[in-house]
Amino acid sequence: MKKLNSHRIGVDSGLAHGFSDFADDGEMWDGKGERVRRVKVKFSEPFLKPPVVHLGFAMWDISNAANTRVDLAAEDISTKGFTAVFQTWGDTKVARMRANWLAIGEVENDDIWDV
């Protein structure tokens, strides 16, 4: 459990645009090559400590000709941002993917002065 030591909690959110491989027959769609995509996300302002980040699928477009295998994770979480990681394997063909994200953590408190 992350315990926040602040009277000011920041909540930031957004959309991580994963990829669109269907139009140009990219690796995620044709099933060849590296099947991982990493998307850098920056927070609108920095947190005091790395926040808790939650990811959820906003959109996924996957072929129905194979099994659906997808992994979505947040890596390298810092005070300024994180990396959203989209991954698939096997015969799964992913055309497009996007994720919503939510970050919750401590932010600067304008009422506290460091003298």
Task: Tell me the per-residue pLDDT of 32-80, one tens digit each, with 9 for 90 and over.
Answer: 778 899 999 999 999 999 999 999 999 989 989 888 999 999 999 999 9
Distance CA 63, CA 40 (A): 26
Beta bridge partners of 36: 87
Residue 66 amino acid letter: A
Rounded CA Rg of the chain: 17
Which among 21, 17, 18, 16 has a CA at the least distance from the CA of 94? 21
Mean per-residue pLDDT over the chain, rounded: 89
- pLDDT for 42 equals 98
Task: Tell me the per-residue pLDDT of 6-31, one tens digit each, with 9 for 90 and over.
Answer: 678 999 999 998 888 777 788 888 87
Q: Which two three-digit tokens encode residue 96?
A: 């497009």
DSSP 59-101: EEEE-TTS----EEEEES--SSEEEEEEE--TT--EEEEEEEE
